[in-house]
């Protein structure tokens, strides 16, 4: 093995220290959130946040799960289901439209792209969108209301179309000469060559569905259909309402709620599965980037 020079070792040490510093900066807020969630609410309110738990306690998590443990598990199931189903449907629709718009022989290709781009710049607004979803599509209090409004993103479509457009047209022409249909070309050639785009856009859609609470706020009244984020949002809103005095004094008398630490505990509950799942997803994400970056 060739021995590194002093300058190479210095650069390597600097790179490790710099990357380590960036990692600490990124982890610091997460560590503080976790620490505060296990702290005593009175001490946090009096002394402020700290990276070391103040009077370590599980009281906040006990309060949350004791009052709503079963509903939180139900909300987890709803969120996981809509994330999986929504991501799969979104990827199918987005990749098909992106592939179609990348084909130069497609009739009215520019017109279709213009109409898609037009929706990014101009929007009908909240009220017409709500009216169409409720009165035309009848999505009130349905699981479809948690999936369909976020099913297609024009930004993700244009991003994926860029990858599809980078595929040499000669590959498509060769496949057509061999008798392959456009569906066969899409499934057997375009998709395998654009793994990076599929993984990147799929991750964006998955995070969008996992973090979404707006659609539930707009369309869902049945608590059994609440996704995790909206259910925890309700818990936090109720605690803030009681703590701020907006609830009548008789109802809020003698109630001591963990108003500060519950914010951090809710954050941990929401992002916990994502943090534990990310190392497994990262492996395939990096593999996709490498396969798209290396030319054979």
- Domain for residue 49, yes or no? no
Q: Is the pLDDT of residue 256 over 90?
A: no
- Measured in whole angstroms, the distance separating CA 135 from the mean position of its chain's CA atoms is 28
Question: For residues 223 and 71, is the Cβ–Cβ distance under 8 A?
Answer: yes
- Domain for residue 39, yes or no? no
- Domain for residue 59, yes or no? no
Mean pLDDT of the chain, nearest integer: 81
- Domain for residue 42, yes or no? no
- Domain for residue 25, yes or no? no
- Domain for residue 127, yes or no? yes
Residue 122 banded pLDDT, cuts 50, 70, 90: confident
Question: For residues 229 and 150, is the Cβ–Cβ distance under 8 A?
Answer: no
Number of compact structural domains in the chain: 1
- Domain for residue 15, yes or no? no
- Domain for residue 53, yes or no? no
Query: Nearest 5 degrees, angle CA 200-CA 269-CA 50?
Result: 105
Residue 66 banded pLDDT, cuts 50, 70, 90: confident
pLDDT given for residue 90 in this prediction: 94
For residue range 141-187, what is the model confidence (pLDDT) as tens digits? 899 899 999 899 898 898 888 888 888 888 888 888 888 888 888 88
CATH of the domain at 257: 1.10.3720.10
pLDDT given for residue 178 in this prediction: 84
Domain boundaries, position 239: 71-293
Residue 93 banded pLDDT, cuts 50, 70, 90: very high
pLDDT given for residue 201 in this prediction: 87
């Amino acid at each position: 093995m060739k021995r590194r020079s002093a300058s190479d070792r210095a650069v390597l040490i600097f790179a490790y220290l710099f990357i380590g510093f960036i990692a600490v900066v990124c982890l610091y807020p997460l560590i503080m959130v976790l620490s505060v969630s296990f702290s005593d609410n009175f001490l946090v309110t009096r002394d402020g946040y700290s990276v070391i738990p103040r009077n370590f306690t599980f009281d906040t998590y006990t309060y949350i799960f004791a009052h709503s443990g079963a509903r939180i598990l139900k909300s987890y199931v709803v969120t996981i289901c809509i994330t999986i189903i929504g991501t799969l449907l979104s990827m199918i629709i987005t990749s098909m439209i992106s592939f179609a718009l990348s084909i130069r022989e497609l009739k009215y290709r520019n017109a279709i792209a213009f109409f898609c781009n037009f929706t990014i710049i101009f929007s009908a607004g909240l009220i017409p969108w709500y009216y169409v979803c409720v009165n035309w599509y009848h999505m009130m209090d349905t699981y479809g209301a948690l999936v369909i409004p976020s099913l297609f993103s024009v930004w993700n479509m244009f991003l994926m179309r860029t990858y599809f457009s980078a595929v040499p047209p000669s590959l498509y022409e060769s496949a057509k000469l061999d008798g392959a249909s456009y569906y066969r070309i899409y499934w057997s050639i375009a998709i395998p060559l654009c793994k990076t785009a599929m993984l990147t856009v799929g991750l964006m859609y998955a995070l969008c569905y996992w973090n979404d609470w707006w659609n539930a706020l707009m369309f869902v009244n049945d608590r059994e259909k609440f996704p995790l984020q909206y259910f925890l949002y309700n818990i936090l809103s109720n605690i803030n309402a009681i703590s701020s005095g907006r609830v009548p004094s008789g109802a809020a008398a003698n109630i001591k709620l963990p108003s500060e630490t519950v914010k951090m505990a809710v954050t941990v509950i929401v992002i916990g599965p994502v943090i534990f799942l990310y190392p497994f997803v990262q492996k395939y994400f990096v593999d996709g980037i490498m396969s798209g970056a290396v030319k054979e």
